[in-house]
A and B are shown apart, each in its own frame.
Chain A
Amino acid sequence: MSSTIAVEYPGKVKSCESIGIVGTKYFTFAHSPYELTLDSGEKLGPVTLAYETYGKLNDHRSNAILILHALSGDAHAAGFHEGDEKPGWWDEMIGPGKAFDTDTYFVICSNVLGGCRGSTGPSSIDPVTGKPYGVDFPTITIKDMVKAQRHLIDHLGIEKILCVMGGSMGGMQALQWAASYPERVRSVIPIATTLKHSPQQIAFNEVGRLAIMADPDWQGGRYYGRTVPSKGLAVARMIGHITYMSDISMSEKFGRRFRNGKIPSKFGAEFEVEGYLHYHGDNFVRRFDANSYLYITKALDYFDLSNGKTLFEVFKGISAKFLIIAFKSDWLYPAYQSKEILKICKLAGIEATYCEINSTYGHDAFLLEIEEETHLVRHFLKKVFNGYAVDDAHGK
């Protein structure tokens, strides 16, 4: 870690174990004629959401935390799937004794609408045609993703969520939750995110989309059952990875070092940084659908929480507490965007805490600065869950 916290938890350190073996569940709703009405006015149904839960919902149903994933994430946030060697994408934060302590809280994570990891998206079968939707899948927005999640939360019997939290696109969903359903959210933790996508953020996404659409295998989005546009999707992912890192983190990780072994061609990947990008590009193709990438990045670009109103109007109805986290070296979602969230919270009289973590990891920091995030999240959640925590913190 780039910085360490000079803070101890006397008598509070618990052994941090994995939650163990977990499985993905599926919830299907919006059957005809009760289809989900989307932001665009189009209807979609039935809709399936893949989700996982960790810990137990308490008798008062007051300990539910909704974790919202980023662009390429999925419902598998913690623990291990049977036979897997790698845990879920945020296993270091979710589990017994961890920031989202599953001994205390009931943690939910679902794959977004439009995704390709078990939830309904462009690679799902259109019940009308019996074939994958492809580009006939309707346009979706962050608001639509949240609307779909609300059905899942209803299904789980949870009236009020203790905390909605996420980084990057997950942070946008968290903000949207507070804006769409202010009465159902007690606290919000937006990390490395924004109130609206900036031209620079849109620009990077557009290059990624063009790379996919320029791949001859994309076939106007109708590639299912044939060769997938793996080259285009890999390039899109490589662009993404460049924006997730920082100049310093790249220098530290790769320097100008060359890769070992024979270079296959004159312009092959000679440098370590090239190898890294190729590896992640190729890996991504195996687990992600190119059309989902197009739809989800569009949802990101459309995101503007104000949605035709003033931000003050959006925030004035919110009573949830906010913990806003940004990272110094994040140039994709720069700290000034998080400060704008803080600013509107203050204007609207919302209780908010803001911390800009001095990390060198760039945007990736939200998945890496576990120690700092754990400290902030643990104490913030305790305050929201138990009320004011001063006595506790003094060890009395």
Chain B
Amino acid sequence: MMLMVNDTIREDYRIILDWIKDGSSVLDLGCHEGELLSLIVKKKNAKAQGIEIDEQAIYKCVELGLSVSHQDIDNGLSEYGDGSFDYVILNQSIQQVKKPDVVLKESLRVGKEVIIGFPNFAHFRARFQIFFRGKTPVTPSLPYEWYETPNLHFLSISDFMDYCQKQDIRIQRRAFFCNDRMTGMTNILPNLLAHTGLFLISK
């Protein structure tokens, strides 16, 4: 199973767990097979719900005892009232939705805080592949060829931070990962060195 490597939790999951307060309510948008969500329930005693579009992943979630909705997060979170959850999580899903802007705004309405993680398109390996080879980049956080990628939008860490500034979104915490690990170097030049960015944001 992916989440346990020698009994250690994946680094980004560990950071997310760090950021979430005990006994919170959590909505995970694009919860896949529920690895992160079940960790949050177990370790943080959270009241958790997931939304996932893939039917086979739903069966896995139900097996883990999670409450999940087989839905498309693009079709809106309108049934949830303002601030219904302490946290809304968008981990590696924002780049796959049709309307990231709408999903983000809705997440910030429904959740008091939003945790968002995405692959950084401006990592130096990606830049190198575009600039010197003239090819669509394939990197550890963007592992797909152009013809099979589920990703619809490509954004960089700088893009996201600009967006937050323009939209008056507060970035409260951030973490950057290179090859799924946090390193000191990555923090100095994240837009160049990080494969993945993770942010805790609020309105």
Q: A residues bordering B, Cβ < 8 Å? A: 3, 5-7, 321, 323, 339, 342-343, 346-347, 351-358, 372, 375-376, 379-380, 382-383, 388-390, 392-393
CB pair A7 B80 closer than 8 Å: no
Within 8 A of A (CB), among B52-66: 55-56, 58-66
A356 vs B70: C-alpha distance in the bound complex, in angstroms? 6
Q: Is the C-beta of B79 less than 8 angstroms from some C-beta in chain A?
A: yes
User: Which residues of B have CB within 8 Å of A347?
Assistant: 79-81
User: Which residues of A have CB within 8 Å of B70?
Assistant: 354-356
* Interchain nearest-CB distance for B192 vs A (Å): 39
CB pair A379 B55 closer than 8 Å: no
Residue among B41, B62, B64 with the most chain A CB within 10 A? B62
Show 15 residue pairs from A and B whose CB-CB distance is below 8 angstroms, ordered by the A residue.
A3-B55, A339-B71, A342-B79, A343-B79, A346-B80, A347-B79, A351-B67, A353-B68, A355-B70, A356-B55, A357-B55, A372-B59, A376-B62, A390-B64, A393-B65
* Interchain nearest-CB distance for B157 vs A (Å): 33
Within 8 A of A (CB), among B32-78: 38, 41-42, 49, 55-56, 58-71
A5 vs B79: C-alpha distance in the bound complex, in angstroms? 30
CB pair B55 A389 closer than 8 Å: no
CB pair B65 A354 closer than 8 Å: no
Q: Which of chain B's residues has its CB closest to A328's CB?
A: B55
CB pair A358 B59 closer than 8 Å: no
CB pair A379 B67 closer than 8 Å: no
Q: Which of chain A's residues has its CB closest to B62's CB?
A: A379
* Interchain nearest-CB distance for A370 vs B (Å): 14
User: Which residues of B have CB within 8 Å of A342?
Assistant: 69, 71, 79
Contacts A343-B79, A347-B79 known; A355 to B58 CB distance under 8 Å? yes
User: Which residues of A have CB within 8 Å of B56?
Assistant: 5-7
Contacts A352-B67, A354-B70, A356-B70 known; A5 to B59 CB distance under 8 Å? yes
A66 vs B49: C-alpha distance in the bound complex, in angstroms? 27
User: Which residues of B have CB within 8 Å of A5?
Assistant: 56, 59
CB pair A388 B65 closer than 8 Å: yes
CB pair B59 A7 closer than 8 Å: yes
5 further interface pairs, Cβ-Cβ under 8 Å (given A347-B81, A389-B64): A321-B67, A342-B79, A353-B58, A389-B65, A390-B41
* Interchain nearest-CB distance for B89 vs A (Å): 17
Q: Which of A321, A356, A393 contacts B63 (CB 8 A)?
A: A393
* Interchain nearest-CB distance for A165 vs B (Å): 15
Contacts A388-B41, A390-B38 known; A354 to B63 CB distance under 8 Å? no
User: Which residues of B have CB within 8 Å of A3?
Assistant: 55
CB pair A383 B65 closer than 8 Å: yes
Q: Which 8 A-B pairs have the closest CB atoms?
A: A389-B65, A383-B65, A343-B79, A354-B69, A346-B79, A355-B70, A379-B62, A351-B67
A323 vs B61: C-alpha distance in the bound complex, in angstroms? 13
A342 vs B70: C-alpha distance in the bound complex, in angstroms? 10
Q: Which of chain A's residues has its CB closest to B37's CB?
A: A390
A346 vs B59: C-alpha distance in the bound complex, in angstroms? 20
A378 vs B199: C-alpha distance in the bound complex, in angstroms? 37
CB pair A355 B62 closer than 8 Å: yes
Q: Which of chain B's residues has its CB closest to A351's CB?
A: B67
Contacts A343-B79, A346-B79 known; A375 to B69 CB distance under 8 Å? no
CB pair A376 B42 closer than 8 Å: no
Q: Which of B55, B60, B62, B80 contacts A353 (CB 8 A)?
A: B62
A16 vs B58: C-alpha distance in the bound complex, in angstroms? 24
Contacts A343-B79, A347-B81 known; A7 to B65 CB distance under 8 Å? no
A279 vs B22: C-alpha distance in the bound complex, in angstroms? 61
Q: Which of chain A's residues has its CB closest to B27's CB?
A: A346
User: Which residues of B have CB within 8 Å of A351?
Assistant: 49, 67
CB pair A355 B41 closer than 8 Å: no
User: Which residues of B have CB within 8 Å of A339?
Assistant: 71
Q: Which of chain B's residues has its CB closest to A349's CB?
A: B84
Q: Which of chain B's residues has its CB closest to A384's CB?
A: B65
